[in-house]
């Protein structure tokens, strides 16, 4: 499913229509853009020495795969830089706002100059632009996205709702992204590198402590568990942590006691009815029913099944 359109178009952020590879002069007025990507007609594209352009510490994206950069470098060598970099002045030099991939690829092929649009922007605006550029192009991995939201919230004292509005995301989307930062650092690295899926990671967030998370990750990797099997594993690990001493069971799934067949039957019927994992706890007339869900859409579906209408 395509990502929702963000609050501001890339054209508005990156200076409108692309420029020719070899402009007839050192600078010129950017072409008029459509109403969707209208920019200040006074903005000018300039050519500046590559050595005077530097990356920003605010950049949320940290991973730049070398293969993709090599492909971009080959394209720039053949066609030139079609879209100018966006920079802001820093003394006699410039700090990148948008276009770090193009800047890195230009370094690889030894370009002397690059086209830029210079903007005077404060840190908050720069961070917003960087997040929007990367999110619209789907360049951020899930951990980079979460760290970007965290920096926006903490540096400028924003609520999750305010941060979401700034970058055109839903508050729930921002909140779910930030939850990934509760993973053990080793697992955050696995998500960043694509060795652990976001689906698996979200399930593992039900485990509050890092050792349990790492144990779950080891079992997932060892047994090749899918997300549904991971839900069952996490449920067992949670129950192991809270069960009375006589009811402890191994994390690999073999229980040391026999559950009542009627309880198992009811639990299975609930799972079939709701289409998700259900855990039924019962002891001497008391207990709880735990219903798992892993997205807003899934919660809405479950609520509809049980007849709960949202205002």
d(CA 117, CA 119): 7
Q: For the chain, what is the radius of gyration of the CA atoms?
A: 25
Q: What is the CATH number of the domain that holds 104?
A: 3.90.1530.30
d(CA 97, CA 89): 10
Phi and psi based region of residue 249 (left: phi greater than 0; alpha: psi -120 to 50; beta: remaining): beta
Q: In what order do the strands lie in the sheet with 85-90?
A: 27-29, 44-49, 113-118, 85-90, 93-98, 53-54
Token pair in block for residue 242: 């809270």
Would 38 be classed as within a structural domain? no
CB atoms within 10 A of CB 44: 16
**Residues linked to residue 150 through DSSP beta bridges, in sequence order:** none
pLDDT at residue 11, as a whole number: 38
**Residues 279 and 263: beta-carbon distance below 8 Å:** no
* Residue at token pair 């994992």: 277
Could you tell me where the DSSP H helices lie in the chain? 10-14, 66-79, 100-108, 123-136, 142-155, 160-167, 171-179, 185-192, 198-204, 210-223, 227-242, 261-274, 296-305
Would 185 be classed as within a structural domain? no
d(CA 136, CA 131): 8
**Residues linked to residue 94 through DSSP beta bridges, in sequence order:** 53, 89
d(CA 220, CA 199): 12
pLDDT in single tens digits along all 311 residues of the chain: 444 444 444 334 334 434 343 333 333 333 333 322 334 545 788 899 999 999 888 777 777 878 888 988 999 988 889 889 889 898 889 998 888 889 999 999 999 999 998 988 888 888 777 777 766 666 678 998 888 888 888 877 889 998 888 788 888 889 999 999 999 999 999 998 889 999 999 999 989 889 999 999 999 999 999 999 999 899 888 877 555 544 444 444 444 334 567 777 788 788 778 877 788 887 777 888 888 877 777 788 888 888 887 76
d(CA 289, CA 239): 13
Would 66 be classed as within a structural domain? yes
Query: Catalytic residue positions?
Result: 100
Is the same domain home to 239 and 205?
yes
Quick one: DSSP state of residue 31?
Answer: P
Terminal C-alpha separation, the chain = 26
Per the structure, the complete domain to which residue 65 belongs is given by 10-14+43-122
Would 192 be classed as within a structural domain? no
Is the same domain home to 166 and 218?
no
Taking the mean position of all CA atoms in its chain, how far away is CA 32? 33
Query: What DSSP element (H or E) covers 278?
Result: strand 278-283
Burial degree of 213 (CB within 10 A; 0-12, 13-18, 19+): buried
Is the same domain home to 107 and 72?
yes
The DSSP annotation for 17-30 comes to S---SS-SSSEEEP
Is the same domain home to 60 and 111?
yes
Is the same domain home to 252 and 275?
no
Is the same domain home to 69 and 118?
yes
Specify the number of domains making up the chain.
Answer: 4
pLDDT at residue 264, as a whole number: 76
Residue 58 CB partners (closer than 8 Å, separation 6+): 123, 126, 127, 130, 151
Q: Are strands 85-90 and 53-54 parallel, antiparallel or unpaired?
A: unpaired
Is the same domain home to 117 and 47?
yes
pTM of this prediction exceeds 0.75? no
């Amino acid at each position: 499913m395509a990502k929702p359109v963000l609050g501001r178009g890339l054209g508005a952020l990156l200076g409108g229509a692309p420029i020719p590879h070899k402009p007839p002069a050192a600078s010129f007025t950017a072409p008029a853009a459509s109403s969707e990507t209208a920019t200040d007609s006074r903005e000018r594209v300039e050519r500046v020495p590559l050595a005077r352009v530097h990356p920003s510490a605010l950049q949320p994206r940290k991973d730049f795969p070398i293969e993709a950069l090599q492909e971009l470098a080959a394209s720039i060598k053949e066609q030139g830089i079609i879209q100018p970099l966006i920079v802001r002045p820093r003394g006699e030099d410039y700090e990148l706002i948008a276009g770090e991939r193009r800047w890195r690829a230009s370094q690889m092929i030894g370009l002397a100059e690059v086209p830029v649009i210079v903007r005077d922007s404060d840190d908050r605006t720069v961070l917003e632009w960087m997040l929007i550029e990367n999110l619209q192009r789907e360049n951020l991995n899930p951990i980079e996205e979460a760290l970007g939201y965290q920096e926006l919230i903490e540096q400028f004292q924003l609520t999750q709702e305010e941060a979401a509005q700034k970058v055109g995301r839903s508050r729930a989307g921002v909140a779910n992204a930030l939850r990934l930062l509760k993973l053990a650092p080793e697992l955050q690295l696995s998500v960043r590198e694509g060795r652990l899926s976001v689906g698996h990671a979200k399930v593992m967030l039900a485990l509050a402590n890092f050792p349990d998370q790492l144990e779950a990750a080891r079992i997932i990797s060892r047994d090749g568990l899918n997300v549904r099997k991971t839900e069952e594993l996490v449920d067992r690990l949670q129950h192991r942590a809270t069960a009375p001493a006589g009811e402890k069971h191994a994390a690999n799934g073999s229980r040391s006691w026999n559950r009542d067949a009627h309880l198992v039957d009811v639990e299975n019927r609930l799972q079939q009815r709701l289409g998700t994992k259900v855990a039924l706890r019962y002891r001497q007339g008391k207990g709880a029913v735990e219903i798992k869900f892993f997205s807003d859409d899934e919660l809405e579906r479950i609520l509809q099944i049980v007849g709960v209408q949202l205002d």
